[in-house]
């Protein structure tokens, strides 16, 4: 499976210049293959989340094309799953039914109970399986939203900073579980994050972006074996390099 973004730009009505147009992305070219874990980092306003929404088919590019296995992406599809920055749960469903909603809609009854129980325990929510979203804390609701996407094991998994609201220990646990799922399924993972360490820990490529319009300033391959040591010299060298690149990107706008 191959995902191709070719000469992508995206503009919105806005107030950033005299024309009243916000140029969110400009001239984005990116190829991602099955089995790759791509982390996207950059300052706020550089179009990171816009790229994910374009791949998901939630919005369309102003210019350019996006294709998956040679088929142009025009709308959403079950092969592409997305976890958002904020939980988007069904308020009338319990935690358990929110998590297995996709499996029920696809009539995956044989694996429903086992997978749901596993995901509830993974997210530390088993005792809250009969609770409703309004009864959860923000971090708990975000965990429900994340494992609701994970349980469907999409071929292309899009992650829009879904771990940001979690406490440090839960966040690291979910990072390792996402990596475990990726190693097992060899699917395509594309994650937006503001956490440089998270980008290095999880991705085998880190896409570094600069804003106005959003553009890629570096496609950095991470030459580290899994599991990665967060305090290793190479890890720290990558962190310094990315931070320096981000400062350089900011100085250009």
Tens-digit pLDDT profile for residues 147-163: 898 888 889 999 999 88
Contact present, 120 and 126 (Cβ < 8 Å):
yes
Q: How confident is the model at residue 21 (pLDDT cuts 50, 70, 90)?
A: confident
Domains and CATH numbers, the chain: 2-79+154-251 (3.40.50.300), 86-152 (no CATH)
What pLDDT, on the 0 to 100 scale, is given for residue 249? 43
Tens-digit pLDDT profile for residues 157-213: 999 998 887 888 888 888 998 898 888 888 899 999 999 999 999 999 999 999 989
Sheet containing 215-221: order of strands: 80-83, 156-160, 188-192, 37-41, 205-210, 215-221
pTM of the entire predicted model: 0.87
What is the DSSP pairing of strand 21-33 with strand 71-72? unpaired
Contact present, 155 and 80 (Cβ < 8 Å):
yes
């Amino acid at each position: 499976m191959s995902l191709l973004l070719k000469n992508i730009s995206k503009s919105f009505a806005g107030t950033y210049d005299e024309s009243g147009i916000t140029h969110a992305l400009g001239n984005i070219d990116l190829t991602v293959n099955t089995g790759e874990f791509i982390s996207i980092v950059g300052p706020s306003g550089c179009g990171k989340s816009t790229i994910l929404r374009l791949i998901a088919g939630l919005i369309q590019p102003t210019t350019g094309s996006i294709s998956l296995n040679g088929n142009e992406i025009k709308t959403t599809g079950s092969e592409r799953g997305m976890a958002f920055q904020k939980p988007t749960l069904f308020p009338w469903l319990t935690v358990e039914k929110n998590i297995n909603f996709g499996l029920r809609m696809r009539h995956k009854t044989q694996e429903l109970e086992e997978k749901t129980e596993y995901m509830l325990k993974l997210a530390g929510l088993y005792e809250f399986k009969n609770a409703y979203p309004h009864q959860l804390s923000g971090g708990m609701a975000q965990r429900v939203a994340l494992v609701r996407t994970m349980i469907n094991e999409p071929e292309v998994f899009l992650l829009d900073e879904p771990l940001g609201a979690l406490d440090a220990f839960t966040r690291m646990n979910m990072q390792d579980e996402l990596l475990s799922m990726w190693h097992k399924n060899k699917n395509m993972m594309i994650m937006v994050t503001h956490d440089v360490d998270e980008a290095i820990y999880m991705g085998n490529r880190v896409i570094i972006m600069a804003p106005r319009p959003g553009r890629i300033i570096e496609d950095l391959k991470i030459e580290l074996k899994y599991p990665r040591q967060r305090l290793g010299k190479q890890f720290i060298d990558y962190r310094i390099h990315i931070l320096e690149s981000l400062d350089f990107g900011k100085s250009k706008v």
